[in-house]
Amino acid sequence: MMIEDWETGQLYWNCLSRHEGNEAKAVADVQKKYFDDFAKTKDLHFFLGTTQQYHNVAPNPFIIIGTFHPKKEIQTRLSGTFARLTKPDTQKLTLQKSLPGTHPTSMDTRL
């Protein structure tokens, strides 16, 4: 799959410069960064897109257009909203009767 992400490209160019033009070492460094760092210590996501140039020609027209790699967060307890919903039935009735815009997770769509 082709990668068009500028950060990944810049990482490659920096590695290529550091290894004085040795492409094999630069590629190995980029792979090491993604497989040993991002994949193990971060919550790695790829943004995919297509281009018209490859859309009807390639068997897989998707390309990586960006990456998102926030820190991994280990959830040690239930979130507040879910915990409130799992309490006794009186709590459920209170949440069901709440007006739009008053519950912390609801969005007020009024202008």
pLDDT digits (tens, 9 = 90+) for 38-94: 888 998 899 999 888 877 888 888 889 999 988 888 777 766 555 555 555 544 444
Rounded CA separation 24/14 (Å): 13
3-state helix, strand, coil in the chain (%, to 5): 45, 15, 40
Rounded CA separation 31/25 (Å): 10
Max mean pLDDT range (32-36, 69-73, 101-105): 32-36
Q: Where are the beta strands (DSSP E) in the chain?
A: 45-50, 62-68
Model pTM score: 0.58
Residue 60 has a pLDDT of 83
Residue 13 has a pLDDT of 96
